[in-house]
Structure 1
Amino acid sequence: MTAAAAAPVAPLPAPPAPLLSVRDLKMTFPGRTAFPGWMAFPGRRARSAAVRAVDGVSFDLAAGETLGLVGESGCGKSTTGRMIVRLLEPTAGSVVYDGRDISRLRQRALKPLRRELQMVFQDPHSSLNPRWTAARIIADPLLVQGGSAAGARRRAAELLELVGLLPQHLDRYPHEFSGGQAQRIGIARALATGPRLIVADEPVSALDVSVQAQIVNLLARLQEELGPAFLFISHDLSVVKRVCDRVAVMYLGRIVETGDKERVYAAPAHPYTRALLSAVPLPDPAAERARERIMLSGTLPSPAAPPPGCTFHPRCPKAREVCRSEVPLLRVATAGEAREVACHFPEPEPSG
């Protein structure tokens, strides 16, 4: 045996740990108490069923990556985002940020991490204090973290220019801005403390189509220049394809498919993903007319009373008996492929 053959092979470097690791995250809202016929039956109360808004969500997000979280309204996307930044307390599960479980941290311990975890909200005007100027809105995170008033104002002016507004806008109030301008202020506020992770909750859904494109391009540019990781929550799959690296599809509180966006969009494995993508309009009129639109039967079940087994089975054209009794686990769809699907009968990979 030669010396070269006997030399030990250097092990491959371990992949970097994810910036964010969410495991089995759950959020259950208690049912409301009602008083039906309280005048006729004093003392009797009725309580509605608890709502399982998020029911065991798990995913990883690398530093500098953008993950799109998509699904119908009411599937638990926004609730997931709010738990990650701790605007909501999870019922169960863990949120590990940069190697530290933050899902049970008290507010005092969480305060320093607020610099690195920020959020952009859906409705720009309702998320901005109408009594504060743009300067105060953007500077407030810096002031909370102990920054000086003069330094915070200078930083606010820099951020306004970064998001495409002018320094003279500093002393205007939210009602003096259009929806797109107000959302730019919300983005500037999120960037004020130099975060490493931004949760963008439907950041363009409340805007006109022309303004949506401007905000999407702005977010893509900021991600490229500043490098924060984004959890991009949306029901618009065309927008998600523009800005995201990977996609996670949610249905009734659970992730049913996740993977690289090119693979998911080209060959969706879950019937629900296929139905969502069939509703995305194509820019080519001829291709739009020729393709088949998948129409789901039934309506979205209530998260207060989800179906047994696979929660999608009442609307799934491929449902069989096992789908009605066994919950499918999120597992690798094809060997060697970084994509997972929660389906007993996933769509096969296209040949060739």
Structure 2
Amino acid sequence: MTSDYPNTLDCSARSTSQGGAAPLVSVRGLLKTFPGRRVLGRATAPVRAVDGVDLELAAGETLGLVGESGCGKSTTGRMLVRLLEPTAGTVEFEGRDITHMSPRELRPARRHLQIIFQDPHASLNPRQTVARIIAEPLLVQGATVRAARERAAELLDLVGLGEEHLDRHPYQFSGGQAQRIGIARALATGPRLIVADEPVSALDVSVQAQVVNLMARLRAELGLSFLFIAHDLSVVKRVCDRVAVMYLGRVVEIGDKRDLYDSPAHPYTRALLSAVPLPDPAAERRRERILLLGDPPSPAAPPSGCGFHPRCPKAQAVCRTERPLLQVVGSGARTAACHFPETD
């Protein structure tokens, strides 16, 4: 059973991808528009939740996707695994365009594309046992009931639970244990990419650390790639190699986490990082806190030009009329969509 659903990647393939070969996942011009609703007889404007996102993810890499609530992070992640259909743009996985594949064509790729949801209990069927929940992806892929149950027991052991939990139901577990079951289900078919959609935000702080450490260990042992969606920048710094910052459906900055955290180029990134608490009280008192005025604009009526200009302390006339494109900042591989990026 284990050979049919491998949990390891070829190490040579992983290093080649990170060394400049074709990425594991390539996203180009990804767009998602939700139609408006009728409220009191009037049709509301359509909502552009994701507005032209470009991303690349190498084999074995963890890419963090951060931003305020409603900026399009989860919608982007769900389009990567085809839980949502893009309005426009392409998603390539291992060099193949999976954007418009039919369900039948997509099925072989499904085993390599999995997702971990934010709320562990809401994502687990309360009427099914743990064994059935973990085994279901395997049964869909053609495994026998016996082989799928054996595999479920192996996966529970891998995530820190035991075989005695197989015949229990989700309500019998704590939040952290339920999320471990969700991780085991995501690992069932030997995926290469896992979209982790705020996997620890619904958990207590102590449990968050356990789940984050588990995911880091699984990544090292199994050679997994993660798109790690979160709003907690401290967690993102702990687990990610690179970080992409989203605002109003667009990526406004992306780069290596060290460069981005040490010298953010986009004013929005600077504001986000200034809100991260520092463990040193003296340093916390000394640093400058950047407060953004107002609320994020509605994606149903985005501002012209740069979407951030109504709240940006550096906004000038060009920001109101011209949409900035991602461009290289400084000497590294970091890019930012800003007319006046910081370059220190």
TM range (shorter): over 0.9
**Aligned counterpart in structure 2 of residue 211 of structure 1, from 200, 203, 207:** 207
Residues 35-76 of structure 1: per-residue CA shift (max 9 Å, x gap): x3xxxxxxxx41000000000000100000000000000000
For the pair 1:312 / 2:337, whether they are aligned, the reply is no
TM-score, normalised to structure 2's length? Answer: 0.94
Kindly report which structure 2 residues correspond to 1:190-339, keeping only aligned pairs within 5 A, or say none: 190-334=186-330, 336-339=331-334
For 2:337, the equivalent position in structure 1 comes to 342
Amino acid at match of 2:120: P
How far apart in 2 are the matches of 1:21 and 1:332? 19
Amino acid at match of 1:226: L
How far apart in 2 are the matches of 1:158 and 1:341? 44
For 1:5, the equivalent position in structure 2 comes to none
- Please tell me the root mean square deviation across aligned C-alpha atoms, in Å: 0.8
How far off is 1:15 after superposition?
2.3
For 1:11, the equivalent position in structure 2 comes to none
How far apart in 2 are the matches of 1:66 and 1:225? 14
For 2:23, the equivalent position in structure 1 comes to 18
How far apart in 2 are the matches of 1:15 and 1:283? 37
How far apart in 1 are the matches of 2:21 and 2:168? 44
For 1:27, the equivalent position in structure 2 comes to 32
For the pair 1:46 / 2:42, whether they are aligned, the reply is yes
For the pair 1:88 / 2:84, whether they are aligned, the reply is yes
**Aligned counterpart in structure 2 of residue 105 of structure 1, from 101, 108, 112:** 101
Task: Point out the more displaced range, 286-295 or 195-204.
Answer: 286-295
How far off is 1:323 after superposition?
0.2
How far off is 1:154 after superposition?
0.6
Q: Which runs of 5+ in 1 are unaligned?
A: 1-13, 37-44
How far apart in 1 are the matches of 2:343 and 2:153? 53
How far apart in 2 are the matches of 1:300 and 1:48? 18
TM-score, normalised to structure 1's length? Answer: 0.92
For 1:174, the equivalent position in structure 2 comes to 170
- Secondary structure at the counterpart of residue 293 of structure 1: coil
For 1:157, the equivalent position in structure 2 comes to 153
Amino acid at match of 2:252: V
Amino acid at match of 2:171: H
For 2:10, the equivalent position in structure 1 comes to none
How far off is 1:166 after superposition?
1.1
**Dislocated runs of 4+, deviation >2 Å:** none
How far apart in 2 are the matches of 1:211 and 1:285? 24
- Secondary structure at the counterpart of residue 56 of structure 2: strand
How far off is 1:337 after superposition?
1.3
How far apart in 2 are the matches of 1:67 and 1:15? 16
Q: How many corresponding residue pairs?
A: 326
How far off is 1:16 after superposition?
1.1
Amino acid at match of 1:340: T
How far apart in 1 are the matches of 2:20 and 2:293? 43
How far apart in 2 are the matches of 1:272 and 1:236? 15
How far off is 1:290 after superposition?
1.1
Larger Rg: 1
How many percent of aligned residue pairs carry the same amino acid?
Answer: 74
For 1:125, the equivalent position in structure 2 comes to 121
Kindly report which structure 2 residues correspond to 1:135-150, keeping only aligned pairs within 5 A, or say none: 135-150=131-146
- Secondary structure at the counterpart of residue 60 of structure 1: strand
Amino acid at match of 1:269: A
